[in-house]
C-alpha cells in the first residue's frame, strides 16, 4: 500500500480519477466478500490511469484486529496511494484504536492535494458513541470550515461515510450541508448506503457506492469517479466485466451538471455550445476508441501525448441528444453514453441540500438501480 501523497503540477493536472471500493464488512478470509475484495484490488492493479483508491468506512465488520489484517493485506498489493476513512462498524469495539493500529493510515481529518484538487477526508464515527451516531464534533467542523475557506480557488472533493444529513451532533447536519453547498465542493464521496446512488443539488454531486460485503442489490464491483476541470463523472464497474472500461469525463451529463462560482452569481459552466471537446478515460487495454453523436457514424478519438484521456472536437447538431464513447480490444468492448447539458437555465436545483432528497433515481448506465436496498432506506437493518 503506497502512502497518500500529493500529485500536482503535471500535464494531467486537469483530471483526477479514483476507484471507490464499497464498504467491505470483512469478517474472515474465506468469506465471499473477502474473495471479492481480493479480486477487486487485483483487477484495479491491472489498469493504469487512476490516482488513488478510496475505502469509505465499515472496513472491518466488527472492528477487530484480525479483520483489519485482511483489509491491509489487500491494500498492500496495490501500487496506488490508498485513502481509508472510518464507518460505524469500525468503531464497534468501542474505539478506533484497532482501525489506526491495523491499517497504519493518517489520523482523520486530513487534506491532500491531488492533480490540483483538494481532497478532504473526515471521521464521522470517532466523535460519536458508536453505531450510526454520526458526528464530526466542533473541532472537526471548524477544521472543515477552515479547509474549504483555504482552498484558494481549487475544487474540492469531500470523503465521508454518509450524507451530512445523517450527522447527529447539534446543528451539524445543517452547518456541514451549508458549508458544502456554499463552498468549492464539487463531489462528496460516501459509503454506508449499501446501494449505488447519485444526488445533485445543482452545486455538488453526492455519490454513494454499494457495499462489497452485506450486499443487498446488484452485482459486486466498484465505482470509478473523476473530476475533470470541475466536471463530475461517476460509473460503477461490475467485477465480472472484462477490460476495457470507459468513463466520459467531459462534458457533464445533464443530470450531473452544476453551477459553480459564488452563490450570488451562479455562473453556469456545464452547458455545452455548438462545439465542444469530448474527453473519456479508458481503463485497461483498448485497440480502438471511438465516439458518435446519437446514431451517427463512429469516429476515431485520439489521446494526446502525455495525456490520460482520449479526446475529440465535436460539433453539436441542433436536436442532438446523446454522445457515446466505445473502446474495443480483442474479444471485449465497453461503451459509455451521456446526455450533455445544453440549456444553462435547466441545470439541476436542490430539493434538500446535504441529503438524498436530490437523488437521481435509476440510471442503469451508471449502475444505479434506484431501489435503495440498504440500511438507509428499504434494506435490512444491519
Same-domain status, 161 and 282: no
Residue 42 covered by a domain: yes
* Distance from C-alpha of 213 to C-alpha of 215, rounded to nearest angstrom: 5
Mind listing the pLDDT tens digit for each residue in 138-195? Answer: 999 999 999 999 998 899 999 999 999 999 999 999 999 999 999 999 999 999 999 9
- Please answer whether residues 189 and 157 qualify as being in contact, where contact means their C-beta atoms are separated by less than 8 angstroms: yes
Please give the residue that has the higher pLDDT: either 352 or 204.
Answer: 204
- Please answer whether residues 173 and 146 qualify as being in contact, where contact means their C-beta atoms are separated by less than 8 angstroms: no
Residue 254 covered by a domain: no
Same-domain status, 90 and 185: yes
Cis ω before 109 (30° cut-off from 0):
yes
Q: How many structural domains is the chain composed of?
A: 2
pLDDT of 264 higher than 50: no
pLDDT at 252: 95
Same-domain status, 182 and 269: no
pLDDT at 11: 36
Cell of 165: 444529513
Cis ω before 251 (30° cut-off from 0):
yes
pLDDT at 261: 61
Residue 349 covered by a domain: no
Residue 234 covered by a domain: yes
Same-domain status, 192 and 96: yes
Mind listing the pLDDT tens digit for each residue in 225-255? Answer: 999 999 999 999 999 999 999 999 999 999 9
**Max CA-CA distance within the chain?**
60
Supply the range of the domain harboring residue 188. Answer: 15-241
Where is average pLDDT lowest: 137-151, 201-215, 304-318, 366-380?
A: 366-380
pLDDT of 3 higher than 60: no
Same-domain status, 231 and 333: no
pLDDT of 122 higher than 50: yes
Residue 235 covered by a domain: yes
- Please answer whether residues 55 and 84 qualify as being in contact, where contact means their C-beta atoms are separated by less than 8 angstroms: yes
Same-domain status, 26 and 53: yes
Same-domain status, 99 and 184: yes
Residue 10 covered by a domain: no
Same-domain status, 63 and 173: yes
Assign residue 277 the CATH number of its domain. Answer: 2.60.40
- Please answer whether residues 140 and 172 qualify as being in contact, where contact means their C-beta atoms are separated by less than 8 angstroms: no
What pTM was computed for the model?
0.94
Cell of 312: 475529440
Same-domain status, 192 and 334: no
Amino acid at each position: 500500500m503506497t502512502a497518500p501523497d500529493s500529485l500536482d503540477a503535471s500535464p494531467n493536472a486537469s483530471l483526477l480519477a479514483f476507484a471507490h471500493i464499497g464498504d467491505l464488512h470483512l469478517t474472515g478470509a474465506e468469506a465471499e466478500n473477502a474473495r471479492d475484495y481480493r479480486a477487486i484490488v487485483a483487477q484495479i492493479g491491472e489498469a493504469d490511469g487512476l490516482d488513488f483508491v478510496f475505502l469509505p468506512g465499515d472496513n472491518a465488520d466488527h472492528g477487530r484486529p484480525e479483520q483489519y489484517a485482511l483489509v491491509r493485506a489487500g491494500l498492500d498489493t496495490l501500487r496506488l496511494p490508498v485513502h481509508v476513512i472510518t464507518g460505524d462498524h469500525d468503531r464497534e469495539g468501542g474505539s478506533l484504536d484497532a482501525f489506526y493500529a491495523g491499517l497504519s493510515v493518517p489520523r482523520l481529518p486530513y487534506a491532500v492535494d491531488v492533480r490540483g484538487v483538494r481532497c478532504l477526508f473526515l471521521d464521522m464515527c470517532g466523535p460519536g458513541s458508536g453505531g450510526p451516531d454520526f458526528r464530526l464534533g466542533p473541532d472537526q467542523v471548524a477544521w472543515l470550515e477552515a479547509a474549504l475557506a483555504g482552498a484558494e480557488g481549487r475544487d474540492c472533493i469531500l470523503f465521508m461515510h454518509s450524507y451530512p444529513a445523517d450527522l447527529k451532533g447539534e446543528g451539524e447536519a445543517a452547518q456541514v450541508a451549508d458549508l458544502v453547498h456554499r463552498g468549492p465542493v464539487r463531489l462528496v464521496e460516501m459509503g454506508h448506503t449499501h446501494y449505488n446512488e447519485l444526488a445533485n443539488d445543482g452545486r455538488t454531486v453526492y455519490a454513494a457506492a454499494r457495499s462489497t460485503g452485506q450486499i443487498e442489490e446488484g452485482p459486486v464491483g466498484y465505482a470509478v469517479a473523476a473530476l475533470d476541470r470541475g466536471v463530475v463523472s461517476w460509473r460503477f464497474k461490475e467485477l465480472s466485466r472484462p477490460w476495457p472500461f470507459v468513463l466520459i469525463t467531459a462534458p457533464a451529463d445533464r443530470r450531473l451538471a452544476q453551477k459553480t462560482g459564488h452563490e450570488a452569481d451562479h455562473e453556469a459552466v456545464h452547458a455545452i455550445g455548438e462545439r465542444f471537446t469530448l474527453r473519456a478515460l479508458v481503463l485497461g487495454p483498448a485497440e480502438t476508441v471511438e465516439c458518435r453523436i446519437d446514431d451517427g457514424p463512429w469516429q476515431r478519438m485520439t489521446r494526446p501525448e502525455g495525456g490520460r484521456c482520449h479526446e475529440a472536437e465535436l460539433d453539436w447538431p441542433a436536436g442532438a441528444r446523446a454522445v457515446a464513447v466505445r473502446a474495443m480490444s480483442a474479444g471485449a468492448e465497453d461503451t459509455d453514453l451521456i446526455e450533455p447539458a445544453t440549456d444553462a437555465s435547466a441545470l439541476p436545483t436542490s430539493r434538500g441540500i446535504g441529503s438524498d432528497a436530490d437523488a437521481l433515481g435509476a440510471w442503469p448506465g451508471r449502475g444505479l438501480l434506484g431501489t435503495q436496498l440498504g440500511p438507509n432506506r428499504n434494506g435490512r437493518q444491519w
